[in-house]
Copies of this chain bind each other. A is one copy, B any other.
């Protein structure tokens, strides 16, 4: 018998965005290529806060159940699903569907689909609403469901599916590995993964931060160097880095200065999302070393699988705080207060 409803912690009003109400709602249909997952735990992402507080604009759905770092068990599969079986432990990240028809989808860039279906506050092509993982169940296209390697704890794997892959994909697409120098700007949930995975891939990682406050943590995570971005910090670093990943979401970052620390034709990949634009980028700052300012969105399936395998093999252990799902408001408040060290994960507590 097909599951028709989920129960989740919903926000009903962006002005009252810490008021999670346990709510029963209809799931999107179980189509041929979809998998239903019974949620075991779910990571808490900065996007959750941006969305429920209305910081990224009005909602697409009537209410919002956030959560796009889901680990759980397969409880149903559509008739054409070949990759998964009921009972299998899987993950679902910040994208649950793609059109399957565009150039990106036909290749291996489904994460750059022209019309992606995101992890929550989103509608499918037939207008059915999709909600996220602060809940009992989520549904996703098979292409966006990932088997979880046995040795990875669910609470460790959860946040890899958004924060992890968001940094892992630009790392591997830009050649991070032995002999390469990678700069990571900002040490939050994303930044800490950039350090962990950059190091696991064999690159030499340098963390840039506004102050020395997180220096000890950065070095524990595997960074070789920590640089506070005070006046003139870039002077001794010209042409130094093969890649810089900016995980901070401020628009006041010293981007032009950071750009000059890149070696020739290398990229600064912005994965933070400041609500205002990146002002004052000068073509002069980009031309002295042919630097590129780029961004990135999640990763493709191959990269997610590669990341999970590497995490298992190299025992990559994220720094997570585990809470009950009913404490979602506490977790969101910690995001707002910038006190998360370095990711929160919510454990299922909704009675079946």
A positions within 8 Å CB-CB of B:
102-104, 107, 109, 112, 114, 170, 173, 238-239, 263-265, 267, 270-274, 277-284, 286-297
Contacts and interface: CB of A to CB of B under 8 A. Distances in A.
A281 B292 contact: no
19 contacts: A103-B263, A104-B239, A107-B264, A114-B239, A170-B290, A267-B292, A270-B283, A270-B287, A274-B283, A278-B281, A279-B279, A279-B280, A286-B293, A287-B296, A290-B294, A290-B296, A291-B294, A292-B294, A293-B294
Nearest to A239: B103
- The 9 A-B pairs at the shortest CB distance, nearest first, are namely A286-B295, A292-B294, A292-B292, A287-B295, A270-B283, A277-B280, A277-B282, A112-B264, A287-B297
Nearest to A293: B293
Contact of A291 (B274, B278, B290, B295): B295
A231 to B, nearest CB: 20
A278 B288 contact: no
A112 B295 contact: no
A227 B114 CA distance: 22
A276 to B, nearest CB: 8
A304 to B, nearest CB: 16
A279 B279 CA distance: 5
A262 to B, nearest CB: 10
Copies of this chain, count: 2
B264 A286 contact: no
A261 B294 CA distance: 15
Nearest to A170: B290
A288 B112 contact: yes
Given A239-B103, A264-B112, A293-B292, A282 B287 contact: no
A239 B102 contact: yes
B281 A281 contact: yes
Most buried by B among A107, A277, A289, A295: A295
A280 B109 CA distance: 27
Contacts of A112: 239, 264, 288-290
A286 B102 CA distance: 18
B281 A277 contact: yes
B288 A284 contact: no
A273 B279 CA distance: 16
Contacts of A272: 283
Nearest to A104: B264
Contacts of A265: 173, 294
Contacts of A277: 279-282
B273 A278 contact: no
A267 B294 CA distance: 9
A270 to B, nearest CB: 4
Contacts of A297: 287-288, 290
A112 B278 CA distance: 25
Nearest to A279: B279
A113 to B, nearest CB: 9
A294 to B, nearest CB: 4
Nearest to A276: B282
Contacts of A170: 290
Contacts of A173: 265, 290
Contacts of A270: 283, 286-287
A277 to B, nearest CB: 4
